[in-house]
Copies of this chain bind each other. A is one copy, B any other.
């Protein structure tokens, strides 16, 4: 341990930086403060990129590092009295408020878990709640719980800061166990909390009929709490729980340890290097991703996700979460546990966020880093000699998991040995449900338990891909595979038998949006036109592989659609400049946003040139999730995988030096069957 440590410009705030900043904020703005974020601001790319290059080249940058670039922090807080958002930029070295803005327009701050817990307490003891229970014929002391749900928005005009709650009974048989599963006991009312007035603004009632009942209030006649059944998931609460007995242990053992090296926030693995950071909104962010020191991506992050629901009947029509903008992948991250969330030799990274009072919460183990065997990486058998060449597809895994009330999202970055990066989302957890009358079915969802309607919904993710393919100045293109005209083309008979097809290239010359077209094999690439592959004579590039998925179903004229332009196209290309606040696909302030929050719609309207520029590619994909009965009570993971693959970035397969797969290393075991009622090869 040397006495002097140098802070990397991408390192998060140290504890003392954090506490000095919080002291400064209290000193400057008084005590009515609810902190939402205290975190370092990334230096502008023009300043940071040269430092990253110098560090990668092993140059001595101690001097630069200690002097500049300026180290800044962002503080976001709300004033408890006005509910206004305040944002500050702090110069950390001089401990000075460089910039302060009180957001006077009707933007609402993101929620946080501490607020939810405090609001739930208030809801559970509020007279409006007791009154609603009474109207349902339920005793006032019925054990219930209030699940937080972002209010959403259904008006283009201004509204107070609201918060809504989906109400459930606590399972009568679970004797107050706090882990009992309440989602099979939905209550058909939604208290709406007025944040500034600090009280229940109103109670909305939920339609519990079917399509034929339309907007008839049927809850009074039909609501039947006796219909519900326990659907416990925790083993100690499952009735007559019998764990299936025949699943034998499977262990990932790395006798010589992991193949990666960790250096603070830096990761080295199999010719890859990268740096991670953590913030309250995006959670895990990857920076400065290089292969053999060649820059590939400057920054990779999950930018946003919108989760709109398809039941149009008020008040549930308003259900549209922006899980990153409304809540945050950092603040909702799980602490991961060894041997539960990942196997093998695991390195954990911590995160840190600000608590409402400004103190720094160290979030233990929010990112796990480990290796995984993904089956065969490549194989060729020489049929003449029967000799094989085979390698395993070992990958480096960076995983983070968030819990947004009922739902879980698993975000996983994979790095492989052949230069590709993959990003997977897995959706799991608990479906968001509503009450439905006995015997009814609904066009808006599926009945997944007696009296429980799981509403059809979408999850549309937006991945922000900030490339640096072999250096600065990149261009986006898309290619399509196109059938040639049959027979003669101009003077040359180029397709005499009708079998020809070619690749058509389309340069993307300015900011805009694009859709996938799998029937044309439309493939988006990011290339560096200044670097030409010596073998193929084509520019160095990476291509995007992405599942083609349904776009936003909300009507284009709806508030819901105006809030999420990003979800209406698969691919967006924008240009980045140092002054851009361009991290967030749906804008910075999504909570109760009304279509004026900025984001991709605004960015592309600039129509700036994107050829040989500092471009950003945004990849939007998702699930339209029409729930199955099998998705309840806990939903098996639904997975989506996106890949970024080198395309003429290397001059040959970069994985040709991967050790071949062999039994001496892999120590597999032969299984012998002792049972042979029928024999196939003897008689």
Contact = CB atoms under 8 A, between A and B. Distances in A.
A350 B390 CA distance: 21
Given A231-B652, A376-B637, A388 B254 contact: no
Given A362-B681, A447-B537, A670-B346, A497 B154 contact: yes
A425 B642 CA distance: 17
A340 B632 contact: no
A258 B383 CA distance: 32
26 contacts: A7-B683, A8-B678, A11-B678, A14-B680, A215-B492, A234-B387, A248-B257, A249-B666, A266-B678, A310-B500, A312-B495, A317-B496, A320-B499, A342-B668, A343-B666, A369-B671, A370-B671, A375-B412, A377-B637, A418-B630, A483-B555, A484-B555, A497-B558, A501-B554, A518-B547, A635-B653
A209 to B, nearest CB: 11
A662 B250 CA distance: 11
B345 A247 contact: no
Contacts of A252: 250-253, 373, 666, 668
Contacts of A650: 629-630
Nearest to A454: B536
A661 B343 CA distance: 10
Interface residues of A, number: 221
Nearest to A519: B550
Interface stretch (A126-134, A237-245, A468-476, A600-608): A237-245
Given A630-B650, A632-B653, A339 B663 contact: yes
Contact of A683 (B15, B313, B345, B500): B15
A673 B70 CA distance: 29
Interface in A1-52: 5-8, 11-12, 14-17
B178 A385 contact: yes
A550 B536 contact: no
Contact of A648 (B339, B486, B500, B630): B630
Interface string A476-498: 00010111101000001111111
A17 to B, nearest CB: 7
B248 A259 contact: yes
Given A630-B419, A634-B656, A446 B254 contact: no
Nearest to A362: B681
A7 B678 contact: yes
Contact of A444 (B264, B447, B502, B649): B502
